[in-house]
Amino acid sequence: MTQEEILQAVLSIAQEIFEKDTDERDDFFSLGGDSINAVELATRLEELLGEEIDLADLWGSESFHEFAVRLTRDPGRSASHRS
């Protein structure tokens, strides 16, 4: 998937989780995100992408756009592939 496709998937899932419109500039935690929401978002993205999502990528991102960039730049995002 392209970065834009991943971003749109993230925004769509986030809109469902938070039950409000989300924007690429939004921050997961400023929307009220917690660990349960993070796991739900990651699990749904994993199903879509077929790869494990490292929650540190979500927690370390200042926006959904940055999160999508991290996912795009890290094709081996599975924790088992990290050193």
pLDDT digits (tens, 9 = 90+) for 22-75: 999 999 999 999 999 999 999 999 999 999 999 999 999 999 999 999 999 865
User: For the whole model, what pTM was predicted?
Assistant: 0.85
Q: Alpha-carbon Rg of the chain, whole angstroms?
A: 12
With beta carbons less than 8 A apart as the criterion, state whether 28 and 64 touch: yes
- Please write the tens of the pLDDT for every residue from 68-83: 999 998 655 444 333 3
Fold of 3-76: 1.10.1200
Q: How is the chain split into domains, by residue range?
A: 3-76
Nearest residue to 53 via CA among 33, 67, 36: 67
With beta carbons less than 8 A apart as the criterion, state whether 40 and 82 touch: no
